Amino acid sequence: MPLTESEKAQLIIIDEIGYTPISRGQANRFFTFISDTYESSSMIFTTNKEIVDWAEMMGDPVLTTAMLDRILHHARCYSFRGESYRLKHPDLYKQESSFPEKSVKRKS
Average pLDDT of the chain is 83
Per-residue pLDDT at 24 = 92
- Given pLDDT bands bounded at 50, 70 and 90, which one contains residue 89? confident
Per-residue pLDDT at 7 = 66
Instruction: Tell me the angle at which helices 61-72 and 24-37 cross, rounded to the nearest 10 degrees.
Output: 30
- Residue 92 DSSP label: G
pLDDT at residue 52 above 80?
Answer: yes
Q: How far apart are CA 14 and CA 76, in angstroms?
A: 15
Specify the range with the lowest mean pLDDT, choosing from 2-6, 45-49, 90-94: 2-6
pLDDT at residue 1 above 50?
Answer: no
